[in-house]
A and B are shown apart, each in its own frame.
Chain A
Amino acid sequence: MASSATTHRHSQTRRESPREWRRFKFPESLYRWAGVLLGLVFLSYSIIYLNIPLERFFTMFGRVGALITDRYYPPEIDYVTQPEYLASVWETIQMAYLGGMFGMAMAIPLGWFGSYNMTPHRRFVYPLARFVTMSTRSVHETIWAILFVTILGFGMMAGVLALTMFCIGFAGKLFAEEIEAIDMGPVEAIRATGASELSVMVYAVFPQVRVAFTGIGIYTWDVAFRAATVVGFFGAGGMGWYLKRNVLQIETLRVSAILVSIVVLVLIAEGISAWARARVAKAK
């Protein structure tokens, strides 16, 4: 039976050439190849433009390995267990959650104003809220830290405000997306009773997004903690300052100890946040 099938197929191919299948027809396929070509030209041009030494690139891995073993190993663990450093770790945690909390408090109204289905005014408030979340998100947290340090001076307040700005952008976007995905039935029901926009928000929208907001909040704290480990680098408090000091003093063993401590802390924070988010998702 298999042989008969093959002979049948052979006879068919002899009769007519097999039809050629393509996903894209002529003009479109040309555009696609042109796009790919353009991308490749851009990439190779940028390697030339940035003066990236490719010959150094391939021998680099050995040198990075040598650098780690010569200068960064073994990490000076004693340095990160001293009380001053641990106090700075605690400060970092405080900064992260205060920044996350303030940011969230401002991100919830921004999420409301910036969601297309629930915004009070589509022509004026919606684009404004969108612009605020976009611009706070686009400016990197280190730039916020530098700006606040320049204006307010060294200290943790600058760090908390920088993290607040970062969290506004980060959580505001996610909140708005969450509100845009709600079921509009309850909203109409509450509106039909003549409720104000705020009551609609409180009684129709908020119960639907409560769980998702909690999850996003925990995640925001996790991300803010990662950012908090470096805002101190620019003078905004926390463990980043120790990092900067030791980088400038070329105390590489201490730097590697601090890096190890950052990785461990972030791992712990990630574990807590994953556990808490799983709990919240279960409560749904």
Chain B
Amino acid sequence: MTTAEATAREADRIIAARSRTKLMHSAIYLVVLAFVLWSVKTTIVDDTDWARLGSLADVLESISEFVGIDWGLVPNLWEPAIETIMVATLGTLLGVIVCVPAIWFGALNITPYAPITYPLARLMMTLSRSIHEIVWALFFVAAVGLGALAGVLAIAVRSVGFIAKMSAEAIEDLDPKPVEAIRAVGGSDFQVFIYAILPQVLPAMISVIIFEWEINIRRSSVLGLVGAGGLGLVFFRQLNTFNHPGVSTVILAILVLILFGEFVSYYVRKAII
């Protein structure tokens, strides 16, 4: 009888605890929901100029202005498209070169002096990743003037963070046995690097670089907005002359360019790795 009573009491306790957590969860959900609704109110309801927006029909009408392709623009798109790809490629390459010290300092097992060089490399990586490419491009346009060079530099600096972070992690994860083996047969530091470290991390690094190249095509297609050449400049001109079908044409061209990039990266990846 006592055991039955104890079981019943235990069951009551569990049920009470469960309903308490349930209450707690619903309270949390309610607070989150209220917060979200409040944010929607301040950002969307209060901050929008509803009079300027007009009715739904007006919005649909302004969207319909963008429908269509300006075929007359297509021949003028080849050159900026090629420029965009070139800026992305050169930027990625320069980024890889700049990456080398960041990787060397940023991998804990090979960094020369961990208390100083490791945080330095981490700072480099975070700085590069946290500032948007548009901001980097603005900075470099101010520093080296309008043109493709500013775009290349912005892309390079922006890609350092990702490539260096992934490569440093690959180096930190590497298998120490080949390093020991090369050391044991009397290999120098350089030989250890060439024959034991590089073969282990190269495939991962190359696939990271190709991935970054793909992203960089997307990035370099907008750098023209702040004066760094490529498709972004054409986009900007079409928008400022209110040639809205031309705007859609440029966006389609960017899509085609990115599909091309994915296609190339698929085959290069297959050929190299």
Given the complex, which residues of B lie within 8 Å of A95, measured CB to CB? 43
Contact with B along A216-258 (1 / 0, CB 8 A): 0000000000110110011001000001000100001000000
Q: Which of the segments B48-56, B101-109, B180-188 contacts the partner chain?
A: B48-56
In Å, the complex CA distance between A56 and B52 comes to 48
Q: Are A230 and B135 in contact (CB under 8 A)?
A: yes
Indicate which residue in B52, B66, B82, B131 contacts A153 across the interface (CB closer than 8 Å).
Answer: B52
B residues in contact with A47, CB < 8 Å: 90
A129-163 contact mask (Cβ, 8 Å, vs B): 1 or 0: 00000110011101100110011111111011000
Do B130 and A270 touch (CB < 8 A)? Answer: yes
Contact with A226, one of B40, B82, B130 (Cβ below 8 angstroms): B130
For window 39-67 of chain B, which residues contact chain A by CB distance below 8 Å? 39-40, 42-44, 47-49, 52-53, 59, 62-63, 66
Chain A residues, CB < 8 A from B63: 151
Neighbour of B144 across the interface among A56, A94, A134, A139, CB < 8 A:
A56
Find A157's partner among B48, B83, B87, B152 (CB 8 Å cutoff): B48
A1: Cβ under 8 A from any B Cβ = no
Please tell me if the beta carbons of A139 and B89 are within 8 angstroms of each other in the complex.
no
The segment from B3-11, B68-76, B112-120, B219-227 that touches chain A is B219-227
Report B-chain residues with C-beta under 8 Å of the C-beta of A91: 42-43
- Is there a chain B Cβ closer than 8 Å to A192's Cβ? no
Residue B127 contacts which of A140, A146, A263 (CB distance < 8 angstroms)? A263
Could you tell me if A262 and B130 are in contact, using CB atoms closer than 8 angstroms? yes
Alpha-carbon distance A143/B218, docked complex (angstroms): 11
Q: Which residues of A contact B210 (CB under 8 A)?
A: none
* A63–B142 alpha-carbon span in the complex (Å): 11
Task: List, in ascending order, chain A residues with CB within 8 A of B87's CB.
Answer: 50
Interface check A57, CB cutoff 8 A? yes
A263/B255 in contact, CB under 8 A: no
Selected from A35, A52, A263, the residue in CB contact (under 8 A) with B90 is: A52
Q: Contacts A50-B83, A50-B90 given: A263-B130 contact, CB under 8 Å? A: yes
In the assembled complex, B179 has its CB within 8 A of some CB on chain A: no
Cβ of B126 under 8 Å from chain A: yes
- Return chain B residues, CB-CB under 8 Å to A52: 90, 148-149, 152
A214 contacts the other chain (Cβ, under 8 Å)? no
Cα A16 to Cα B138 with chains together (Å): 64
Chain A residues touching B, majority SS: helix
Inter-chain contact A156/B239, CB cutoff 8 Å: no
In contact, A140 and B47 (Cβ under 8 angstroms)? no
A140 near B221: Cβ-Cβ < 8 Å: yes
Q: Are A153 and B53 in contact (CB under 8 A)?
A: yes
A147 to B66, alpha carbons, bound, how many Å? Answer: 9
Chain B residues contacting A140 (CB-CB under 8 Å) are 218-219, 221-222, 254
Would A60 and B152 be within 8 Å (CB), given that A138-B258, A140-B219 are in contact?
no
If A43-B93, A63-B143, A140-B221 touch, whether A152 touches B59 (CB-CB below 8 Å) is: yes
B149 touches A152 (CB 8 A): no
Most buried by A among B44, B66, B239: B44
Say yes or no for B134: interface residue by CB 8 A criterion. Answer: yes
Within 8 Å of chain A (Cβ to Cβ): is B237? no
Inter-chain contact A143/B235, CB cutoff 8 Å: yes
Cα(A44)–Cα(B165), bound, Å: 28
Q: Is A11 an interface residue (CB 8 A)?
A: no
Is B203 positioned at the interface, with any CB of A under 8 Å from its CB? no
Structural contact, B49 and A153, CB atoms closer than 8 A = yes
Contact B49 A46 (CB under 8 A): no
Interface check A69, CB cutoff 8 A? no
Residues of A within 8 A of B259 (CB): 134, 138
A148 to chain B, nearest CB (A): 10
Q: A98-B36, A140-B221, A156-B44 are in contact. Are A227 and B89 (CB under 8 A)?
A: no
Q: Is A195 an interface residue (CB 8 A)?
A: no
Tell me the complex Cα distance, A64–B142, Å: 9
Q: Determine if A153 and B48 form an interchain contact, defined as CB atoms under 8 angstroms apart.
A: yes
B37 to chain A, nearest CB (A): 11
Q: Which of A53, A147, A243 contacts B135 (CB 8 A)?
A: A243
CB-contact partner of A152 in B48, B129, B147, under 8 A: B48
Cβ–Cβ contact A42 & B131, under 8 A: no
A262, B271: Cα distance in complex, Å: 40
CB contacts (< 8 Å) of B255 on chain A: these are 135, 138-139
What are 13 A-B pairs at a CB distance below 8 A?
A42-B89, A67-B142, A142-B222, A143-B222, A143-B235, A151-B59, A155-B47, A155-B49, A157-B43, A233-B134, A259-B135, A266-B131, A270-B130
Residues of chain A at the chain B interface (Cβ within 8 Å): 32, 35, 42-43, 46-47, 49-53, 56-57, 60, 63-64, 67, 91, 94-95, 97-98, 101, 134-135, 138-140, 142-143, 146-147, 150-157, 159-160, 226-227, 229-230, 233-234, 237, 243, 247, 252, 259, 262-263, 266-267, 270
User: What would 12 more interface pairs be, CB under 8 Å, given A151-B63, A153-B48, A160-B44?
Assistant: A46-B86, A50-B86, A50-B149, A52-B148, A135-B255, A142-B222, A142-B225, A143-B235, A143-B251, A153-B52, A157-B47, A259-B135
